[in-house]
């Protein structure tokens, strides 16, 4: 056998083994489109954006059913932002029923543990919890399921990306250099696992003084725009650093619902 054909045979064998190791993608029952909102770094406003995007999708077309899945096992914030408390009921098939507010069906680890209890788990337990949140929830019929990913590019992101078909990912970042470094890694990770990146959102882009209206770029200007150009991606939105956005989410009345006519 020539060395060329030996190399080809080895390459085929390696491809076979690799493909066997990857889980087969299986859609979530009843869900038409899955959109994931992700960031490389924590604290850039990903959950706030996910909540408002889910509400905006529903407000934009009242015929569409929208769900929101909080995949952040260690730091679930969707229950507070969506003003939801309590434990999910179980269906006769032993599936969890999502809790609902503002017309959005929500599921989160925060519904399954005490509000102040830390989740002190190793990776395998986290992966098992993610699997349950994906597969053991009765979503009914949804046009869109928005998934709020945890920060980073680890087990949860890979597992979600490889287990279910995803229509697209949206990357959220502030214009700050340290956030952009991680946002770029997030975008590259989705490309590696063949999830289309729909675009980037620049959050906390500018602060306007409520008294004198002077604008300050606290985290720098246009960093996300520059990154989008480098990666050949669209900018989907530019969100200011505004006290209303923070206050409304903290009070469980997100700005899209409570102040739909405001600039924010």
Ordered mean pLDDT values, 10 residues apiece, the chain (264 residues):
75 70 80 93 90 96 96 90 94 94 95 79 82 92 95 83 92 92 91 92 89 88 90 92 91 94 86
Q: What was the pLDDT predicted at 255?
A: 94
Beta strands in the chain (DSSP E): 31-38, 66-70, 99-101, 104-108, 142-148, 168-173, 197-202, 207-208, 215-216, 235-238
Q: What was the pLDDT predicted at 17?
A: 64
- Identify the architecture of domain 30-259 in CATH: 3-Layer(aba) Sandwich (3.40)
Q: What was the pLDDT predicted at 55?
A: 97
pTM of the model: 0.85
Q: What was the pLDDT predicted at 2?
A: 67
Per the CB < 8 A criterion, the answer to whether 176 and 223 are in contact is yes
Q: What was the pLDDT predicted at 211?
A: 86
């Amino acid at each position: 056998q020539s060395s060329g054909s030996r190399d080809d045979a080895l390459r085929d064998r390696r491809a076979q083994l690799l493909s066997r190791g990857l889980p087969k993608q299986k859609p979530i029952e009843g869900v038409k489109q899955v959109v994931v909102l992700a960031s490389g770094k924590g604290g850039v406003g990903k959950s706030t954006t996910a909540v408002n995007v889910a509400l905006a999708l529903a407000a934009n077309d009242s015929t569409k059913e929208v769900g929101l899945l909080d995949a952040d096992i260690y730091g679930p914030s969707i229950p507070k932002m969506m003003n939801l408390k309590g434990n999910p009921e179980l269906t006769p098939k032993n599936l969890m029923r999502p809790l609902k507010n503002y017309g959005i069906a929500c599921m989160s680890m925060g519904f399954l543990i005490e509000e102040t209890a830390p989740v002190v788990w190793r990776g395998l337990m986290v992966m098992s919890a993610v699997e349950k949140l994906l597969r053991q929830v009765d979503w009914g019929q949804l046009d869109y399921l928005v998934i709020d990913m945890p920060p980073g590019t680890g087990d949860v992101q890979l597992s979600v990306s490889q287990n279910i078909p995803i229509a697209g990912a949206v990357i959220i970042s502030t214009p700050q250099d340290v956030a952009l470094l991680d946002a770029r890694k997030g975008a590259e990770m989705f490309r590696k696992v063949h999830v289309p990146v729909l675009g980037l959102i620049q959050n906390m882009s500018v602060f306007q003084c409520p008294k004198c209206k002077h604008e300050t770029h606290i985290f720098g200007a246009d960093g996300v725009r520059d990154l989008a150009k480098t990666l050949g991606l669209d900018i989907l939105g530019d969100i200011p650093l505004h006290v209303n956005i923070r206050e409304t989410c903290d009070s469980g009345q997100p700005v899209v619902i409570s102040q739909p006519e405001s600039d924010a």
